[in-house]
Structure 1
Amino acid sequence: MPATNRAVLTRRRALGAALGTVTAAALSPAVTAAASAASAAPPNRQIRQIRQIPLQGAVNVRDIGGYRAAGGGRVRYGQVYRADALSRLTDADLTTLENLRLRQAVDFRVPLEVRYDGADRLPAGVTGVARPVTDNGLYARILTAIASRDPVQQEEMLGGGRAAAFMRSVYPMFVTSADNRARFAATLHDIAYGGRGALLYHCTSGKDRTGWTTYVLLRLLGVSQRAAVDDYLASNTFRAAYDAKLRESLGQSGAMQDPDLLVPLQEVRTDYLTAALDQVRTDYGSLHRYVTEGLGVDRRTTALLRARLVY
């Protein structure tokens, strides 16, 4: 076997072994269920208003409804859901999703994520749509750092503020990449024109690509900046126990000497969202122009979204 092929195979095996460590412990359905239970009663008032969908195989699944919109209306429940990966859902979870009357599930994950995490498990009759939005190599970076099992390399990759800086480099691509914009636009179009049934969109953690989509949609519906940011930041609460268990598992297995290096990659932060919004201002001047010019969402589509989702 040529040396180049051996190197590629070795790297894939290392990544697979790293993922196996994660999957066997922190990402098992039992642990996920425990983490979900631990975050089922979040502490602050804004979180309590969010309708979480309790599942055993995913922890950040929620209805975007309930928020007050401009003009005194509210965003409808039961129309749009945001989620983390659906690859580890149990049979009981599928029954729960059946009750949501979903028609479509949009997957923002890139092929590497699907390859290692697995394809979505969906109820019969739900159309799965692959609509990959780049994570700027985030998932590969996490796997590479874990697979190295080298605390010096992990510190060089993630320490000293580098992990947070990397996250701030991911978000502007939601604005600058034509492919990303096309996939966000297609999802908004599907919500507006999709007919009966609810739509769910998700990425791996349900916090970055999913968080940006939800922020844009809520603002388009007339939800206040503060409420849209609160919804974005709520991922930290819903994911806290799950992510802590992952770090604990990596530390106990010896894969990472300092698992807290992952915290900036696991969290959402206002400066990550600000990085995208700064790019919006640079490229378009306003979020409205980003939506109308960057995403190509015209007045008719906006009117349909508001008619469908606000009452």
Structure 2
Amino acid sequence: MRISRTRTRTATGLVISALALGTLPAWAAPSESAASAASAASAAPARAVAAARPAPADAVRQIPLQGAVNVRDVGGYRTYDGEQVRDGRVFRADALGKLTDADLVTLGRLGLKKVIDFRVPAEVSYDGADRLPGGLVPVSRPITDNGLFTQLLTVIGSRDPVKQEEMLGNGRAAAFMRDVYRTFVTDATNRAQFAATLRDIADSRSPLLYHCTSGKDRTGWTTYLLLRLVGVPDRTAVGDYLASNTYRAAYDARLRESLKQGGLMQNPDLIIPLQEVRTDYLDTALGEATQRYGGFQGYLTKGLGLDARTILKLRERLVD
């Protein structure tokens, strides 16, 4: 008897949901790819992240804009079962307050119906509110950066190389970033904001965009969760996360040079760990999830409160 494509996709979605939640229905015998998914999901976070490599360049869909450098379509990636994340459904971005009129035209063509802003009030006050196509009002859903933005402004504004070295040197900047990533798991408000965003994506029938200031940490973690939830391999999801370094490299280098030329920092390379994403940071969040919730699956179910129905809806909405 022929099984319809809809029934087949539903069954596949249930398997993906079960894998993400750490349980497999009794009727579902895992295929080789599904077994690989389960193995990857249960592997030690440090080992999984350390083995990751960036995704192929053509798999990352950048939206070129003049006023933002890290705007991307989350679609285009292959799942474990060989299907593909749909283009034009979910977008990730950095701050949108400096978009040009031409950028607004480009953004308008995406058909966005919801924009979610993860920035805390201090970031919005400094960088400005989102500049969006007519009719769009951003949803403020602040996720704490653990004081990163304020600390960065304070240390740069001091113009004191000794103080800057004391605050950022000898691995302290990277350690601070690891602390930021821990809050993605430990902070109840952060967990609620991530979960609400994933549910919005599952429930929305229109294109949606979420962003923070640099589009790399809070936005990167959200995208990593989303891609893993719909069945994209860990290696690919990490590749998307790391791509922020490529898209932000020129902008961040210019910022460091301007800090030096303006006399604000003698050694602006001190802020590189704050500007970059690193597998070490992602590994910290995954390790915290293991410590507190028993693993990635526990973080999804207990930490974020996601159920199989939500994950199946994500899969149905995003995967061809």
The TM-score bracket by the shorter chain reads 0.7 to 0.9
TM-superposition CA deviations, 1:43-98 (whole Å, max 9, x none): x8712321100000000000111111122211011000010000110111010000
Aligned residue runs from structure 1 range 1-311, under 5 A: 46-195=56-205, 197-311=206-320
Give the letter for the 2:61 counterpart.
R
TM-superposition CA deviations, 1:195-241 (whole Å, max 9, x none): 3x211000000000000000011000111010011110000000000
Looking at structure 2, the residues matched to 182 and 93 of structure 1 have their Cα atoms a distance apart, in angstroms, of 31
The answer (yes or no) to whether the contact 1:108–1:201 under 8 Å persists in 2 is yes
> Which sections of structure 1, spanning at least 5 residues, go unmatched?
1-43
Cα deviation for residue 300 of structure 1 reads 1.3
Give the letter for the 1:90 counterpart.
T
Cα deviation for residue 294 of structure 1 reads 1.1
Cα deviation for residue 291 of structure 1 reads 1.1
Structure 2 length normalisation: TM-score? 0.82
- Helix, strand or coil at the partner of 2:114: strand
Looking at structure 2, the residues matched to 126 and 199 of structure 1 have their Cα atoms a distance apart, in angstroms, of 11
The answer (yes or no) to whether the contact 1:192–1:308 under 8 Å persists in 2 is yes
Size of the aligned set, in residue pairs, is 267
Give the letter for the 1:188 counterpart.
L
- Helix, strand or coil at the partner of 2:91: strand
- Helix, strand or coil at the partner of 1:126: coil
The answer (yes or no) to whether the contact 2:55–2:236 under 8 Å persists in 1 is no
- Provide the residue aligned with 2:28 in structure 1: none
Structure 1 stretches of 4+ moved >3 Å: none
TM-superposition CA deviations, 1:94-126 (whole Å, max 9, x none): 100000000111000001000101000111122
Task: Name the CA shift for 1:45/1:194 in 2 (closer, same or farther; >3 Å).
Answer: closer
| Superposed CA RMSD | 1.0
Looking at structure 1, the residues matched to 227 and 66 of structure 2 have their Cα atoms a distance apart, in angstroms, of 27
Looking at structure 1, the residues matched to 143 and 118 of structure 2 have their Cα atoms a distance apart, in angstroms, of 5
> Which sections of structure 2, spanning at least 5 residues, go unmatched?
1-53
- Helix, strand or coil at the partner of 1:69: coil
The answer (yes or no) to whether the contact 2:55–2:240 under 8 Å persists in 1 is no
Q: Which has the higher contact order (CA 8 A, sep 6+)?
A: 2
% identity of equivalent residues: 67
TM-superposition CA deviations, 1:1-26 (whole Å, max 9, x none): xxxxxxxxxxxxxxxxxxxxxxxxxx
Cα deviation for residue 127 of structure 1 reads 3.5
Structure 1 length normalisation: TM-score? 0.84
- Provide the residue aligned with 2:18 in structure 1: none
Cα deviation for residue 138 of structure 1 reads 0.4
The answer (yes or no) to whether the contact 2:55–2:235 under 8 Å persists in 1 is no
Looking at structure 2, the residues matched to 151 and 127 of structure 1 have their Cα atoms a distance apart, in angstroms, of 41
The answer (yes or no) to whether the contact 1:83–1:200 under 8 Å persists in 2 is yes
Looking at structure 1, the residues matched to 240 and 269 of structure 2 have their Cα atoms a distance apart, in angstroms, of 24
